[in-house]
């Protein structure tokens, strides 16, 4: 092990001794390194580098049976239990798993590293971006097939198990254009003519607007900024009314979706949490900078979302009423959103 890696390992051990409950992501932040870099200091001690054959590995995850899928950003953690079904890697833009429980939109062009991790009786596959940012993790549950885990690890184990990884700096986001440089009239017309919510992203690209800028420049009546504290009301009201909703959380490499009811909600310090048997959500409300009600026309009628952003204008979480193509939005969801607007 190199001196630099050894030094980092010692610093991490010292941090853990001071704070036994410190999570690896927070430890990496404190030490000024990426999470993948920190994890790699434990290679050969429960951590194994796998070949970056992401499609092949993900295709075999179904063999594990019921697992817990974890996707997060700096402000929100989304944990969903289920089986990886119906993997679709045919599109070069976004890869999919579409099951009732595990529902993912994957952007493999941002993925670079994968490890298997064994911590005591906890086993997982962990996927990271080019800069070492954690993108997605898959944890075994008590109902998982542990033999299949061992087979996948052995099948995809990389020949090189040295803890020195080649990281890349991710290009910064493009600067937001001045409103005066935007064809606002054309943008607003395109918005009112939308037929599918999935076309929204391409529309913002076409007109060169950032996501939050798009919401500011939207046609009259299609967006409304709400107080950040009302984001909690979305989850509390959906729980109280037993209203099925969709919750999207993601980062540059993946979006993870929960569709269904939320039941048990509770606070822990600044975190607002959903703690259900197969779905957990942890939202740091102190990091919410903006929250918006956003309406988009579609062939199935208007679709309404609550969109939540951090101070950099990046997505934290998105909420919709439960819906599928061809089915209009739930009236109960429209009513819940109307209450937030008051």
Distance CA 149, CA 64 (A): 6
> Which architecture characterizes domain 179-341 according to CATH?
3-Layer(aba) Sandwich (3.40)
Distance CA 96, CA 230 (A): 31
What does the angle CA 243 – CA 246 – CA 247 come to, to the nearest 5 degrees? 120
Non-local (6+) Cβ contacts of 90 within 8 A are none
Q: What is residue 2's predicted lDDT score, i.e. its pLDDT?
A: 67
Non-local (6+) Cβ contacts of 127 within 8 A are 54, 111, 113, 114, 134, 135, 136, 137, 253
Domain ranges in the chain?
A: 3-83+113-156, 179-341
Q: Which of 150-187 are b and which e, b meaning 16 or more Cβ less than 10 Å from the residue's Cβ?
A: eebbeebeeeeeebebebeeeeeeeeeeeeeebeeeeb
Report which of 259, 228, 253, 255 is spatially closest to residue 323, judged by C-alpha positions: 259
Q: What is residue 115's predicted lDDT score, i.e. its pLDDT?
A: 98
Block mean pLDDT (10 aa), the chain, length 342: 81 91 92 94 95 97 98 98 96 93 97 97 97 97 98 97 86 90 97 93 95 97 96 97 97 97 96 98 98 95 96 96 89 96 86
Q: What is residue 326's predicted lDDT score, i.e. its pLDDT?
A: 84
The CATH code of domain 3-83+113-156 reads 3.40.1570.10
Q: What is residue 1's predicted lDDT score, i.e. its pLDDT?
A: 53
3-83+113-156 against 179-341: fold identical: yes
pTM of the model: 0.95
Strand partners, 109: none
């Amino acid at each position: 092990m190199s001196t630099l890696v050894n030094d980092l390992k010692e610093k991490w051990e010292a941090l853990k001794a001071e704070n036994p409950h410190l999570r690896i992501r927070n430890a990496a932040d404190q030490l000024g390194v990426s999470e993948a870099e920190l994890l790699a200091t434990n290679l050969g001690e429960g951590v194994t580098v796998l070949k970056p054959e992401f499609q092949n590995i993900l295709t075999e995850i179904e063999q594990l049976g019921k697992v817990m899928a974890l996707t997060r950003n700096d402000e929100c953690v989304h944990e969903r239990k289920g089986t990886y079904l119906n993997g679709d890697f045919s599109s070069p833009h976004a890869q999919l798993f579409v099951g009732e429980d595990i529902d993912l939109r994957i952007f493999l062009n941002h993925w670079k590293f994968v490890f298997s991790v064994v911590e005591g009786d906890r086993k997982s596959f962990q996927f990271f971006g080019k800069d070492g940012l954690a993108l997605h993790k898959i944890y075994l549950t008590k109902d998982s097939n542990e033999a299949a885990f061992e087979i996948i690890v052995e099948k995809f184990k990389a020949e090189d198990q040295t803890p020195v990884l080649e990281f890349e700096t991710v290009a910064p986001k493009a600067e937001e254009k001045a409103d005066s440089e935007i064809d606002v009239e054309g943008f607003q017309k395109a918005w009112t003519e939308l037929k599918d919510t999935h076309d929204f992203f391409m529309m913002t690209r076409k007109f060169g607007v950032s996501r939050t800028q798009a919401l500011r420049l939207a046609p009259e009546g299609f967006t409304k900024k709400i107080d950040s504290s009302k984001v909690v009301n979305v989850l509390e009201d959906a729980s109280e009314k037993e209203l099925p909703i969709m919750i999207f959380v993601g980062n540059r490499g993946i979006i993870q979706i929960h569709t269904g009811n939320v039941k048990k909600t509770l606070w822990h310090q600044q975190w607002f949490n959903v703690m259900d048997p197969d779905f957990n959500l942890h939202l740091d409300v102190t990091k919410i900078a903006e929250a918006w009600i956003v309406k988009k026309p579609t062939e199935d009628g208007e679709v309404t979302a609550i969109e939540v952003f951090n101070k950099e204008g990046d997505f934290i979480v998105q909420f919709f009423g439960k819906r599928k193509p061809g089915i209009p939005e739930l009236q109960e969801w429209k009513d819940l959103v109307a209450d937030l607007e008051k």
